[in-house]
A and B are shown apart, each in its own frame.
Chain A
Amino acid sequence: MTVMNRKRKKQIVNDFQTKMDYDELLNCMRCGFCLPSCPTYIETDGNEAASPRGRIALMKAVVDGKMEPDKDFEDQLSLCLGCRACEPACPSGVKYGHLLEEARDILESKKKHSPPVKLLRRVVFDQLFPHQNRMRKLSGLMWFYQKSGIQKVARATNMTKIAGKNMSTMEKVLPPIPSPARLKNRPSFVKAEGAVKKKVAFFSGCLMDTMFMQTNDATLYLLKKANCEVVIPQTQNCCGALHAHSGEKDTAKELAKKNIEAFEDGEFDYIISNAGGCGALLVEYDHLLKDESEWKERAQAFSNKVRDITEILYEVGLPDMELNSQIVTYQDSCHLRNVMRTAAAPRKLLQLIKGVSYMEMKDADQCCGSAGTYNIIEQEMSMQILDHKMRNVESTKAATIVTANPGCLLQMKLGIEREGKKDNMRAVHIVDLLAEAVRKKEEEKQTV
């Protein structure tokens, strides 16, 4: 964090006054119904400043000129996970996520980062994520790292630990990266197995289509099995969520526009996402582009079509599924639950699998602490949240933790790794588990 000089403070106040939605700030009537839903309020043992009501009051105080934006203020907004669990809890319907995003965007645009951080941000936000070919190349390098033996050497010589404890554990939980040849060769169309029930378009995502390609393949497999015809527009790119949540709104808008264009042609009922974090931004493209008149309607049309994969699979129906007898629990993806409002479908799908006994974990709707880049930036709070989460996982006695978003998946894997439970517990993306269950049943039928 940088120390704020007077000029920067003045600029921030000015931007808060012109850019923050004051009606939305007033919409919070301070009833406090959000408090029990807020992970940082809970983890700080009830610190009002670390609650949604408190953060809104702080933003309003800056607009009202009652408070100078200082380092505490900036830190407090940074400590927010952005999980948006306060939104479904808010009877007044305050769009906290939008307020937070705007506030972070203002703070970010007025911020002077140290040169290395600045460089890293430019590389990641401008040079990498927006360009799918570069994402593929990076994944290729990581594949080389994993396959060539460098990984083994790096681990053996403790090289990975130099990067910090979290990064080194993170490095261990990354999925096996597909080879460059496979990364390049992605489908653009998948035929339904039987008579077409629904025509859909698939939003493949940047990370999902590289590092988590296996999950994308499983998604397409399930859609095919559910008799959906799938188009995968080739000109799509990163959804922009990482940018929007990190105060890089302009880039997020550019990415949104490209995606809207990519999905504008073609006959389909839905745009399917398999990552809660991406889906939540996709359904809010209309909000992201609300000030651009020529895009507003197009964004609205796009957003209206976006659905999570579990909603569609539950609606259309999957073939019979079976797995070896096991206890399974589900960790909500915050943005899937709180923004897309998808919570029942994944649970219902899991309960359809023969052999699975589903155990709901306590506070499954509470953030796991992953929250985009949060587990790197706010490591301490993230790990505190994760450790509490793992206690709740343990009491379900589950062997399999199911998630619906890549960030949550890695975080749960990190949790398993930290607890030393790697041998009797696993974390999987829901579509991977469903695909496994469909395949198993199918193989069984064939052998009979």
Chain B
Amino acid sequence: MLKKKVKKKLEKIVGSENFLDSQQDLIVYSYDATPDYQAIPDAVIKPKDTQDVSEIVKVCNEYKVPIVPRGSATNLCAGTTPLEGGLVMVFNHMKDILEIDEENLTVTVQPGLITLDMIKAVEEKGLFYPPDPSSMKISTIAGNINECSGGLRGLKYGVTRDYVIGLEFVMPNGDVVKTGGKLAKDVAGYDLTRLMVGSEGTLGIITEATLKLIPIPETKKTMLALYDSLEAAGNTVSKIISNRIIPATLEFLDQPTIQVVEDFAKIGLPTEAGAILLIEQDGPAEVVERDIERMAEICNETGALSVQVAATPEEGESLTSARRSALSALARLKPTTILEDATVPRSKIAEMVREIETIAERNNVRICTFGHAGDGNLHPTCMTDARDKEEMHRVETAFEEIFAKAIELGGTITGEHGVGVMKSPYLSWKVGEAGVDAMYGIKQAFDPNNIMNPGKIFAKDTRKRVVVQQ
């Protein structure tokens, strides 16, 4: 519960219509897309501008009230769950495109803007913003920045961090900081822009962002290759990359995933195939043509059962948008769907896939795998039931083993979903105690009162996994 005085001060800043604390409001801002995490905040607040944000933060810092900045709550590591109560800050009133600069090829936006709305707006001007997380239809730009979201085009074009060139953010003491700008080069001091990208709302509140755009590729072609196993598909991936071809998209799906996606999208996916690879190349027509042809050959050489090129761009689009539904479609199978995003160097993809299968078998759990094969970012997804405590324990063990294997292969515990609460017990596995200490030092320097999204990234206990906090 917030003190009456605090509530009054906050209401004064945003107006009572933008301060919500009815039972209903608290329930619907108590979760994100992470299964089994739910925590009731004390209030929900909707700032109108940077000034509002700064004033709110000052009040919270004074009274030590936690703040959780929330976009559309599509988060998959419980990063936007208000575990320690406090304020959930939503950006419904801050969602404009401030400027599309066609001379510098940049776009400047407010935090609450929906990713896809921005992508569409810049594409109308012949410009391209590549990061395309599966949730882009509903995710917000600041949510993407805070998690450093990836997407299907990450292999060729990189991820959110590669496109954020300037930020305005509010420090936990209320100061407003501006970093970077419409600049290709800028080494004036520490790179605070990069520090903020992927900081999961633990260092400050992003209130404006300037993003780099590139010219939109002239053409695009999509291709589907069928395999009898995921491992065979994995071999093709390694071979494509070692042949010095970087496709725009290189995604794979295993059989159960193909089936549920087809159930939802009904676009005629080959449900009998053991695995499929979804390959896309974009660029000048002749390059696209040549690469697609060569990749088709490689598919055939490495054991593809068949290879089909989409006849039209619409057909290609329906394939990629079906792929984006994979995680949610898997939720059809069991009440609880737990997704991880362990990532390995792309040359190790086939080995990692094989290991996931062994781990699932050993722990007697059902794991489906899909993901961004081209950049080694896997999405092993476990279908389970949170009410079955014994099975949940086995699921936990299986994921621990997957993380351990990924790290052993030179990989990481999370490629694009963030640490949040879900992976905080494993952070030191990846970055070491010294790494965690360095990060914690930064956290303390920015946020000595620990008001910004507390309980995220840094775990109380390493290794022992936190599950089910219902």
Chain A contacts to B: CB under 8 angstroms: 23, 26-27, 29-33, 35-36, 45-49, 51, 53-54, 57-58, 61, 66-68, 70, 72-73, 76, 90-93
- Once the chains bind, are B28 and A48 in contact (CB under 8 Å)? yes
B325 touches A33 (CB 8 A): yes
Cα distance A30–B260 when bound, in Å? Answer: 17
Residues A27 and B335 in contact, CB atoms below 8 Å apart: yes
Q: Which residues of B contact A (CB under 8 A)?
A: 22-25, 27-33, 35, 40, 72-74, 90, 92, 114, 135, 137-138, 260-261, 263-264, 325-329, 331-332, 335-337, 386
Task: Give every chain A residue within 8 A of B328 (Cβ-Cβ).
Answer: 29, 31, 33, 90-92
Contact partner of A91 among B22, B30, B40, B331, CB < 8 A? B331
Bound-state CA distance A27–B337 (Å) is: 9
Contact B23 A67 (CB under 8 A): yes
Cross-interface CB contact of A57 among B31, B35, B261, cutoff 8 Å: B31
Residues of B within 8 A of A70 (CB): 23-24
With a cutoff of 8 Å between Cβ atoms, the chain A residues found around residue B35 in the complex are 29
* Measured CA separation A58–B23 after assembly (Å): 10
Asked if A36 meets B28 with Cβ closer than 8 Å, knowing A30-B73, A31-B327, A67-B23, the reply is no
With the chains together, A1 CA to B363 CA distance in Å? 53
List chain A residues, Cβ under 8 A from B335.
23, 26-27
| Count of CB-CB pairs between chains A and B under 8 Å | 94
Tell me the complex Cα distance, A57–B28, Å. 6
Residues on A with C-beta less than 8 A from B72 are: 32, 35
In the bound complex, CA of A53 to CA of B73 (Å): 11
Complex Cα distance A72/B336, Å? 29
Q: A91-B325, A93-B263 are in contact. Are A35 and B138 (CB under 8 A)?
A: yes
A131 to chain B, nearest CB (A): 40
User: Are the CB atoms of A61 and B92 closer together than 8 Å?
Assistant: no
Chain A residues with CB under 8 A of B386: 26
Do A31 and B74 have beta carbons less than 8 Å apart?
yes
Are A57's CB and B23's CB within 8 A?
no
Instruction: Report chain B residues within 8 Å CB of A91.
Output: 260-261, 264, 325-329, 331-332
Partner of A33 from B24, B28, B135 at Cβ < 8 Å: B135
Contact present for A49 and B25 (CB under 8 Å): yes
- A57 contacts B263, C-beta separation under 8 Å: no
User: Closest Cβ of chain B: how far from A65's Cβ, in Å?
Assistant: 12
Q: What's the minimum C-beta distance from A29 to chain B, rounded to whole angstroms?
A: 4
Docked-complex contact B138 and A67, CB < 8 angstroms:
no
Taking CB as reference atom, which chain A residue is nearest B139?
A: A32
Contacts of A27 in B (CB 8 A): 331-332, 335
Are A72 and B22 CB-contacts (below 8 A) given A30-B73, A32-B74, A92-B328? yes
Closest-CB distance, A51 to chain B (whole angstroms):
8
Taking a contact as CB atoms under 8 Å apart, the answer to whether B28 and A58 are in contact is yes
**Whole-angstrom distance between the alpha carbons of A23 and B332 in the complex?**
11
Q: Could you tell me if B27 and A29 are in contact, using CB atoms closer than 8 angstroms?
A: no
**Contact for B337 among A29, A32, A57, CB less than 8 A:** A29
Q: Could you tell me if B331 and A72 are in contact, using CB atoms closer than 8 angstroms?
A: no
How far does the alpha carbon of A62 sit from the alpha carbon of B65 in the complex, in Å? 28
- Docked Cα-Cα span, A66 to B40, in Å, equals 10
The B interface is mostly helix, strand or loop, or mixed, namely loop
Give the residue name and chain of the A residue nearest to B263 (CB): A93
Cβ–Cβ < 8 Å partners of A57 in chain B: 27-28, 30-31
B residues less than 8 Å from A26 (CB atoms): 335-336, 386
A58–B31 CA distance with the chains assembled, in angstroms: 12
Whether A93 contacts B25 by the Cβ 8 Å rule is no
In the bound assembly, the distance between CA atoms of A73 and B24 in angstroms comes to 7
Q: How far is the CA of A76 from the CA of B28 in the complex (A)?
A: 12
Whether the pair A32, B331 counts as a contact (CB closer than 8 A) is no
The residue of chain B having its C-beta at the shortest distance from the C-beta of A76 within the complex is B24
> In the complex the two chains form, is B33's CB within 8 Å of A32's CB?
yes
Contact B27 A67 (CB under 8 A): yes
Shortest CB distance A192–B (Å): 32
Which residues on the B side are within 8 Å of A61 (C-beta)? 27
Beyond A27-B335, A32-B135, A91-B328, 8 additional contacts (C-beta under 8 Å) are A27-B331, A30-B31, A31-B328, A32-B138, A49-B25, A58-B28, A66-B40, A93-B263
* Complex contact B332–A93 (CB within 8 A): yes
19 A-B pairs with CB atoms under 8 Å apart are A27-B335, A29-B33, A29-B327, A30-B31, A30-B32, A30-B73, A31-B135, A31-B328, A32-B73, A33-B135, A49-B24, A51-B28, A57-B28, A67-B24, A68-B23, A70-B24, A76-B24, A92-B332, A93-B329
Chain B residues positioned under 8 Å from A67 (CB to CB): 23-24, 27
- Least CB distance, A44 to chain B, in whole angstroms: 9
Chain A: minimal CB distance from B448 (Å): 32
Residues on A with C-beta less than 8 A from B74 are 31-32
Nearest neighbor of B333 in chain A, beta-carbon distance: A92
Q: How far is the CA of A26 from the CA of B31 in the complex (A)?
A: 13
Q: Are A93 and B28 in contact (CB under 8 A)?
A: no
Give Cα distance in the complex from A49 to B31, angstroms.
12
What's the Cα separation between A220 and B23 when bound, in Å? 53
The docked-state distance in angstroms from the alpha carbon of A72 to that of B25 is 9
Find the B residue at minimum CB distance from A88. B264
Q: Is the CB of B33 within 8 A of A31?
A: yes
Q: In the docked arrangement, what's the CA distance between A32 and B72, Å?
A: 7
Q: Which chain B residue lies CB-closest to A56?
A: B28
CA gap between A32 and B136 in the complex, in Å: 11
Q: B28 to A29, Cβ gap below 8 A?
A: no
The reply to whether B264 and A54 form a contact with Cβ atoms under 8 Å apart is no
Taking a contact as CB atoms under 8 Å apart, the answer to whether B264 and A93 are in contact is yes
Q: Bound state CA distance, A35 and B328, in angstroms?
A: 14
Chain A residues positioned under 8 Å from B24 (CB to CB) = 49, 58, 67, 70, 72-73, 76
Complex Cα distance A47/B27, Å? 12
Q: Which residues of chain A are within 8 angstroms of B32 by Cβ–Cβ distance?
A: 30
Which 5 A-B residue pairs are closest in the complex by CB-CB distance?
A: A91-B328, A92-B331, A91-B325, A26-B335, A91-B329
In Å, the complex CA distance between A93 and B337 comes to: 14
How far apart are A229's CB and chain B's nearest CB, in angstroms? 32
* Distance of B368 from chain A, by nearest CB (Å): 14
In the bound complex, residues from chain A placing their C-beta under 8 Å from that of B90 are 46, 48
Tell me how far the C-beta of B405 lies from the nearest C-beta in chain A, rounded to whole angstroms: 26
Contact status B329-A92, CB under 8 Å: yes
B257 → chain A closest CB, angstroms: 11
Would you give the shortest CB distance from A363 to chain B, in whole angstroms? 14
Nearest to A51 among chain B residues (CB) is B28
Q: How far is the CB of A26 from chain B (nearest CB, A)?
A: 4
Interface centre among B92, B138, B335 (most CB of A within 10 A): B138
Query: What distance in Å separates the Cβ of A61 from its nearest Cβ neighbour in chain B?
Result: 5
Kindly provide the distance from the CB of B138 to the nearest chain A CB, expressed in whole angstroms. Answer: 5
User: Using Cβ atoms and an 8 Å threshold, which residues of chain A touch B23?
Assistant: 67-68, 70, 72
* Assembly CA distance A35 to B90 (angstroms): 15
- Residues of chain A within 8 A of B92, CB atoms compared: 45-47
- Contact of A58 with B27 at beta-carbon distance under 8 Å, contacts A30-B73, A32-B135 already known: yes
CA distance A33 to B31 in the complex (A): 15
Which residues on B sit within 8 Å (CB–CB) of A46? 90, 92
Query: Nearest chain B CB to A72's CB is how many angstroms away?
Result: 4
B301 to chain A, nearest CB (A): 34
A36, B138: Cβ atoms under 8 Å? yes
| Chain A residue contacts of B31, Cβ below 8 A | 30, 57
- A36 to B74 alpha-carbon distance, docked (Å): 13
- Please give, as numbers and ranges, the residues of chain A lying within 8 Å of B264 by CB-CB distance: 91, 93
Residues of A within 8 A of B137 (CB): 33, 36
Closest to B112 in A: A46
Complex Cα–Cα for A31 and B329 (A): 10
CA distance A68 to B264 in the complex (A): 34
Q: How far is the CA of A12 from the CA of B35 in the complex (A)?
A: 26
A282, B214: Cα distance in complex, Å:
51
- Measured CB to CB, the closest approach of chain A to B300, in angstroms, equals 32
**Cβ contacts under 8 Å, A36 to chain B:** 114, 137-138
**Best-buried of B33, B260, B386 by chain A (most CB within 10 Å):** B33
User: What residues of chain B lie closer than 8 Å to A30, measured between beta carbons?
Assistant: 31-33, 73
